[in-house]
Amino acid sequence: MSEDAEYIIRAEHHDPFSYLGMHPAEHEGRKAVTVRAFLPEAKTAAVIDAERRDISYPMEKIHPDGLFESTIEDREKVFSYRLKVVGPHENVREFYDPYSFLPVMSNYDLHLFAEGKNYFIYQKLGAHILTINNISGVYFAVWAPNARRVSIVGDFNLWDGRRHPMRVLGSSGVWELFIPDLPEGEIYKYEIKTMEDLVLLKSDPYGYLCEVRPKSASIVYNLDRYNWGDAKWMSERQGKDPLHSPVSIYEVHLGSWRRKGEEGNRFLTYQELAYELVDYVKDMGFTHIELLPVAEHPFDGSWGYQVAGYFAPTSRHGRPEDFMYLVDHCHQNGIGVILDWVPGHFPKDAHGLAWFDGTALYEHLDPRKGEHREWGTLIFNYGRNEVRNFLLSNALFWFGKYHIDGVRVDAVASMLYLDYSRHEGEWIPNRYGGRENLEAIDFIREFNELVYKYCPGVMTIAEESTAWPSVSRPTYLGGLGFGLKWNMGWMHDTLEYVSKDPIHRKYHQSSLTFSLLYAFHENFILPLSHDEVVHGKRALLDKMPGDFWQRFSNLRALYGFMYGHPGKKLLFMGGEIGQWIEWNHEQSLDWHLLQYEPHQKLQRFVKDLNHIYRGEPPLYEIDFDYTGFEWIDFHDSDNCILSFLRRGRSYDDILIFVCNFTPVPRYPYRLGVPRDGFYRELMNSDSEIYGGSNMGNSGGVYAEPIPWQGRPYSIELVLPALSALIFKPE
């Protein structure tokens, strides 16, 4: 028995194609061909000429474990063939030999991948349904450069790593195998034997679909059969500039927005969400849905932020085309879709990316660079070309295959700083001795450049919690290249202010005004996000001080101030109906609250705010330049009153906001305005239809030629307690 045969039997052969399959040979000095196959289930086997099915050649069993061989003396050249196998129960199978096919991936693809420049590598790596030489099957390819052997295993081969070992393509570290006749829907993993002879079972990093947790195998899937109906949306998107358009985002966790309590508290499917969620968001007037990560993740409690399947929408809610249907339905109803994307870290689960080929492949070996101990996760090695290519292609994948309209990049600060959440001695400085992660910075810039190059009209959004400069400025100006950045400072300061008893607020008015000192340094989104209603922070309504009535009034005043403040808007689900309890990912929102009038009226207030926001250009046209905002008065801290105006591109297109953050009505209250005329009360958060006391200005007031606050005219107002008012000159 040859060494090659022993290696095949033990599943240790470094190049199974050099031994298995059909090869030129000599027999008694004459040219011949030899066919070898490892068929452990076979009683007998034969080689069948694929073009002349009446010609067959019996194979000899040369090893009791199932190694068969046939030397065909009357054939001088290799030919297309099939293997005919008789099993232990006399069942007969006939199939093309996987080891009769030439390599599929080109040297050019491998070269670009090694450079980190094969931006659509997901079209090559992973599992792909292909037809080669008129033979259909599945082509598998995986990057595992330090593996001794890689095999494809699944139900189709009894999870036996000896049956389908892969070929490695030179020094690229890419292993591939085409398995003919394998159908869509087969589950599979990669069995990887490490240099230390450990055997690992790994899901496909590029897999398009995964089993429903707690199972973790990948599933062969075709993503190209869905017929999209959003051509108009996609065409118009290319010509849109989100920075000068209304962006009001409803942040959603699909697993807990609504559940079917009458059916065991099950998740809604993507198909159900396409109607229930999208119809709701459209009615509420939001422009976008932002989904907490939908990429496959093993643990519900991570909310999707510990991703195991970067190319697979979670199977919790259905199949990939069902998720496509959800996005498509959003677009056909005028709703954009933003995904949370997590390129900063990944979990340590044994089936995932961690220690993928027995080495620190996707992560850093040194935990001072490669581990977030606080989160129990690993950090991507952004300095490795293939790892960077994996992430870049993943971003383009979601835009290309699923038509999404933006990504919000999670935990950007943890990527930018080497000492993030680390004590002295727990991190390694960069080559200049600094704390900045230079490799991650380069990756982020390349990511933004690629997305805006290939996907015009979309948004990239940074969740970045520090004072890093120019996060949302172009890379050619030295910025990171994001389109937008979450304004975490605004969120923190504003919630701190509105959580205080009103009697103390006059000492803290700067918490509301400070954000205008830096409001135009970045392109900001104002978030009231999921992070603020978990972990003991309390729901938004529960943060508000005062009695029952005052809490609702406080919250409406907060929303009114938020919609007037420069910046795009984001509200986490439940905030619009007045959840009393913190968000719990294991149960539905408290939709039953809508049977009570105060919650119904709060919901109507948010809905009307959105429709005013979308219909009034001063609220979105000039969000990121000082010319779109003017203070009228921010000095009235004793009364806790702020007043300002917003301008559109037309200088005369203005709105005036007045916010009273005390439970004391203020009247008469004189306010300076820029011109004469009637100022219609466009919205009053104290209106009875929103649950207020119905104190107001009878629909509007006329300006008087009384100079006030440095302006030539003024209006005399009634300011209800805990209110936000919007006026529009006519």
Q: Report, as residue numbers or ranges, the catalytic residues.
A: 410, 463
**Dist CA 455 CA 323 (whole Å):** 20
- Enter the tokens of residue 473: 């400025």
In angstroms, how far is the first alpha carbon of the chain from the final one? 96
Any idea what the Cα angle at residue 176 is, between residues 381 and 143, rounded to 5°? 5
For the chain, how big is the Rg over CA atoms in Å? Answer: 31
> At 347, which amino acid appears?
P
The HSE-up count of residue 34 (CA atoms within 13 Å, CB side) is: 14
> Which amino acid belongs to residue 598?
P
Please give the structure tokens belonging to residue 551.
């809490």
How far apart CA 469 and CA 447 sit, in angstroms, is 18
Which residue has tokens 């036996």?
160
d(CA 140, CA 151) in angstroms, rounded, equals 10
| Spatial CB neighbours of 321, under 8 Å, sequence gap ≥ 6 | 223, 225, 226
d(CA 590, CA 726): 30
What is the number of alpha carbons within 13 Å of residue 162 lying toward its C-beta?
15
**Residue 89 burial (CB count, 10 A):** 7
Residue 132 CA, chain-centre distance (Å), reads: 34
Contact 84/56 with Cβ under 8 angstroms? Answer: yes
CA 227 to chain centre: 22
- Supply the DSSP string of 43-86, one letter for each residue: SEEEEEESSSTT-EEE-EEEETTTEEEEEETT--S---EEEEEE
| CB contact burial 707-721 (16+ within 10 A = b; e otherwise) | ebeebebbbbbbbbb
| Dist CA 148 CA 166 (whole Å) | 11
Decide if 376 contacts 347 (C-beta within 8 A).
yes
Question: Rounded to whole angstroms, how far apart are CA atoms 440 and 274?
Answer: 36
Q: What stretch of H or E contains 347?
A: strand 346-347
What is 334-378 written as a DSSP string?
T-EEEEEE--S-EE--TTSSTTTTSS-SSB-SSHHHHEETTTTEE
H or E segment and range at residue 600: helix 597-615
Determine the Cα angle at 547 with ends 541 and 551, to 5°.
25
Contact predicate 612/682, CB 8 Å? yes
The strand pair at 678-684 and 723-729 is best described as antiparallel
Residue 168 has, within 13 A of its CA and on its CB side, a CA count of 17
Amino acid at 294: V
CB-CB contact of 254 with 268 (8 Å): yes
Residue 366, classified by CB atoms within 10 Å of its CB into exposed (0-12), middle (13-18) or buried (19+), is exposed
CB atoms within 10 A of CB 445: 18
- Give 20's DSSP letter: S
DSSP state of 707: -
User: E strand or H helix at 273, and its extent?
Assistant: helix 270-284
